[in-house]
Chain A
């Protein structure tokens, strides 16, 4: 089905006799906001690195944006965006220089970059800051900028690894507005978070425990299944049983 943009089948990563990610199988659809949750050490980062074409799986299969995670990693990288929990822009370049640099890396034409950077700066209300060094911006702005740069080349999927850690509650919600906008344009959002209220903003979520996906459904169905009032409680019920220490 063409609307499936991520499909994994028993995807596994072993380090020696340690199975970091253990036979995970799931699908994510075009334009979906997919929350990828789990305790520290559950195997989320390892799984995400395989999905981004940065780490070769030990076994299993995965197709990302139509490309194979074993043979077509370079094509995967061109068709995805990535933003990590650690700020990933260059602090000693200005806002505009960062946009130019990343636009260039992704092979956009100069005219296209110019057009896009104007729109982006308007959308974020960064007109006054466009020529300031990124290092001088507050964290919330950096994260919003970082997200916008990650989707500059109009990737089919954007991977967000704890994008809102340490961000204030108002900016956190503005960040989610950007996520909704991108999803409405058809970009698939794959996001990890430790904020359980953010889990509620996802269309579907999966919860990993000890390398496996223990639950995958809409937030509402998960709460129903675990007889819980909140996602916090669902997470607690599942992750409390984790054997793997973080």
Chain B
């Protein structure tokens, strides 16, 4: 049985009827590490809040661990762990008091499920008497994860746990998630960072309440429909302006030190080089490249 099933779920807000989640359906398998990938406003948080029974859908239905999110909300609440995007632990309680509080609320103790949080908790344990409000961002994040795990949930929801976090700490966080996954916890995680999609078993690419694609990251990348090239020259700003005027260009945009250019068909590298020379560029480097999730996302947005 799938751990999570959404069936045609819609969420509309306010007088202006803003559609935050627009007829979304998908399923997450038991033990899967599933990513909701999309920018601010994609509808990720609304989906989390409906699945954790904090918000009612306007249309459609959903189950978590087999329980209905509307009828069986009490059961769901004791089975899921939720780490909201905004830090929401008690700032005036210490690390240890926060953790104890959440354990007690769920009728358990820190000792009982210590194995599950040990890896993460040891990194903040020496500050256990410090108030949560006085912790640095990285430590708050680790404490919030411990509190979301202390009752040994079967499904863990993490809403943008790495937003605003530097690349090194982001890598460490994903390593923690891989270890949790190994303990057979189903994890749904959202992120605006496209590179993190690679760490998930499957992902849903989202934009303005809709799912653009839902697949394994590998399959999404394989399904990129056009030949993609990385192009570099002495004047990158000029290159980005010139590339769209080449007859076979479908799209081009900056991608790190290169421009990523999609052509209508396979091109002869010499032909492109000739075009760029003609336009006064030098130091030209062009090569076929594999699309990343970010390329796929951009392509899907334009489609």
Contact = CB atoms under 8 A, between A and B. Distances in A.
B60 interface: no
Contact of A230 (B39, B136, B164, B256): B256
A194 B165 contact: yes
14 contacts: A38-B166, A40-B165, A41-B137, A138-B41, A139-B40, A139-B41, A165-B163, A168-B39, A168-B40, A173-B253, A197-B256, A201-B254, A236-B171, A245-B136
Interface stretch (B101-109, B269-277, B294-302): B294-302
B301 A168 contact: yes
A194 B167 contact: yes
Contacts of A11: none
B138 interface: yes
Given A166-B163, A167-B39, A168-B301, A242 B168 contact: yes
Nearest to A242: B168
Interface in B4-42: 16, 38-41
A246 B256 contact: no
A140 interface: yes
A219 interface: yes
Contacts of B297: 168-169
Contact of A200 (B166, B171, B256): B256
A246 B257 contact: no
Interface string A63-87: 0000000000000000000000100
Contacts of B163: 165-166
A140 B16 CA distance: 20
Contacts of B138: 40-41, 245-246
Given A40-B136, A169-B297, A236-B171, A85 B254 contact: no
B169 interface: yes
Contacts of B254: 173, 176, 197, 201
A246 B169 contact: yes
Interface residues of A, number: 39
Contacts of B139: 245-246
A176 B259 CA distance: 13
B167 A236 contact: yes
Contacts of A167: 39-40, 192
B167 A162 contact: no
Interface in B245-262: 253-257
Contacts of A239: 166-168
Nearest to A167: B39
Nearest to A194: B166
Contacts of A197: 254-256
| B168, B170, B255, B257, most chain A CB atoms within 10 A | B168
A40 B166 contact: yes
Contacts of B192: 165-168
A184 B170 CA distance: 34
A170 interface: yes
B237 A180 contact: yes
B46 interface: no
Nearest to B124: A245
Contacts of B302: 170
Nearest to A140: B39
A217 to B, nearest CB: 14
A33 B136 CA distance: 29
A85 B170 CA distance: 18
Nearest to B138: A246
Contact of B39 (A166, A173, A236): A166
